[in-house]
Structure formats: structure tokens, C-alpha cells
Amino acid sequence: MALLLTADQIAAIKAGQKTRQVWYVTVPWDAAHSAFTPETRFHDEAITSPAPLLNVLKAGRRNYYAVNASPMDGRKLQRARHAFVVRNDTGKWYPGTTTSWWTNASTGYQAVPQECRIRHRVYVMLLTGAWSEITCLDFTGQVVKCDPTDLRRADGTIAGDTATIQMDAMGAWETLAHIYTRDDGASTWLDVQFDEVYGVP
């Protein structure tokens, strides 16, 4: 072992050391998205009091794929999508308020969730007691949607407000999702050949 993790991290995980997740929201400076604020931490499992509060109730999961395992492999390249659930008792996950997490604290610009990014980082406590980040899990996603919902007890009564936030991996995928148009150079005869004669491979 010890390919992406360090030997110290492997030893810590094997020993059952604590892990810690930290979540940040990044809000654009203005409607032009000329800049983004520094990351604002809204959740950190190593800090319970005072703020930032522990906002994330369900941390969710991410999937990754390596495609073309064989010519029979029909799986297509996919972005990593990550949905997680946050507390919304204070209503800070509703956009349109000056105190929401979607509001730029510096400029007052009230963004909608889809304009914002979420960063997720994971740490493990080494045997020395120091936190060590698992860097291969450092993830930044573009928010796709934020759905307010309720947290219910087993008997069905509402225990508090929550919100489900879904984000898609940025980085490489932002470019990969681009759809070619005629502005992307001239269309050519070979395009026609492939698409109409042979079909898209």
C-alpha cells in the first residue's frame, strides 16, 4: 500500500484514528462572477463551538469511474456527483437573505446556490495527534441545486429544517461538458462522413 496515502495516514486509519470533514462555501463577488470570496467554512467536525456550526447532517458519497474497460464496456465518462444534507434551522441555506450562506459577506451580493461552489476536505488524525489531510479527497463542486426539506423523527414529527445540496465535480469536468458548436472551428466534410455514413463511433 501507500500509493495515494502516506504511511502515517495508513497507520492512523488502521489504528482507527478519528477523521474530520471540513466543508466550505464559495460565493461570487458579484453577478459577473468577476471574483469569488475566500472559502467560508460552514462545517468542521473538529470545531463544535462556537461557529461555524456543525451543519452537515449527512455527508453523502461520490462515485468515480474508469471507462473503456473493454470494447464491450458501455459505461460513459461521468462526473463525480455529490449530494449531502445540511441543517437549515437558521434558514441560512435559503438564498435571498443577507445572512445566508449564499450571500457574499464582503459585497452583500446575494447569489443563488447554482452560482456557488462547495469544497470538501477530509482529514485523519495521525498517531502523533496532528491532523493530516487526505489530499486525494480534496473536492470542489459546482452547486447544482439546493432543496430545502424537513428532518423528521421516526414518528413523523418534524425535528428541524434541512436542505439537500447537490454538487458536481468541477475541474476537468467543466471543460469536458462543453458542447461543440460552429464557433469551435469549421465544420468539415469528414464530420459529415462520420456522422451520416458510419454513425458516431
Partner 1 sequence: MALNAAWWTALGAAARWVADFTGVSSLRDARVSTDFYTIISLGEFPRCFLAPCQNNAESQDPGLDTGHMYAVNLWPMLLSCRVQMAAAATSVSISDSVWSHTGKIRYRVVRISDSAVMGTSSYYPATDAKAYATAITIGGLTAGVDYKLEAWIDATPDVSGYTEGWYKTLIEWTAPASGAPAIDVVGNWPQTIYALQVSLQGGGALGLYRLTTGRPQYVEIAPQPLQGDFTPIDTADPGYSAKLVTPWVYDNPDPVVGGAYPEDKAILTQWYRRDGMWDMYHYQPWAYFGTPPAVIAAIALQAGLAAAWIDQTLCSSADDAYTSDAPWSSLAAVPTLYASRKIGRTVADLVYDVIRHTRDLLAVTMAGKLAVISRTRPPTLATLTADDGVLAVEHGLTLDHLFNAATARFCSGFRQWGADGFRLDMAEATFACTEERALDSYAGDKWDVACEDTTSQGKHGRVDLPGTKESRIVGGVIKERVLASYPYWLDAAIGQALLVYWIGMDATPRREMRVRQTLLGCDYDVGTKITAATITGDGATVANLFCIEKEIDFDEMRVDSVLLEDPSI
* Core vs surface per residue 171-197: b (16+ CB within 10 A) or e: eebeeeeeeeeeeeeeeeeeeeeeeee
Q: Which residues contact 181 (CB under 8 A, 6 or more apart)?
A: none
What gap in Å lies between CA 55 and CA 147, rounded to an integer?
A: 15
Please identify which residue in 47, 52, 53, 62 interacts with partner 1, judged by CB under 8 A: 62
Nearest alpha carbon to residue 138 among 116, 120, 165, 118: 120
65 binds partner 1 (CB under 8 A): yes
Cβ nearer to partner 1, comparing 35 with 136? 136
Least distance to partner 1 from the beta carbon of 166, Å?
14
Please identify which residue in 46, 112, 136, 159 interacts with partner 1, judged by CB under 8 A: 136
Chain residues 23-52 in contact with partner 1, contact rule CB under 8 A: none
7 binds partner 1 (CB under 8 A): no
Please identify which residue in 19, 40, 90, 132 interacts with partner 1, judged by CB under 8 A: 19
Nearest alpha carbon to residue 177 among 144, 134, 135: 144
- Scanning 13-21, 33-41, 90-98, 152-160 for contacts with partner 1 by CB under 8 A, the matching segment is 13-21
- Scanning 25-33, 109-117, 147-155, 191-199 for contacts with partner 1 by CB under 8 A, the matching segment is 191-199
What gap in Å lies between CA 125 and CA 6, rounded to an integer?
A: 12
What gap in Å lies between CA 46 and CA 50, rounded to an integer?
A: 11
The single-letter code of the amino acid at 23 is W
> Are the C-beta atoms of 26 and 118 separated by less than 8 Å?
yes
- Scanning 34-42, 111-119, 143-151, 181-189 for contacts with partner 1 by CB under 8 A, the matching segment is 181-189
Chain residues 68-87 in contact with partner 1, contact rule CB under 8 A: 68-73, 76-80, 84
Least distance to partner 1 from the beta carbon of 116, Å?
17
Please identify which residue in 91, 96, 148, 171 interacts with partner 1, judged by CB under 8 A: 171
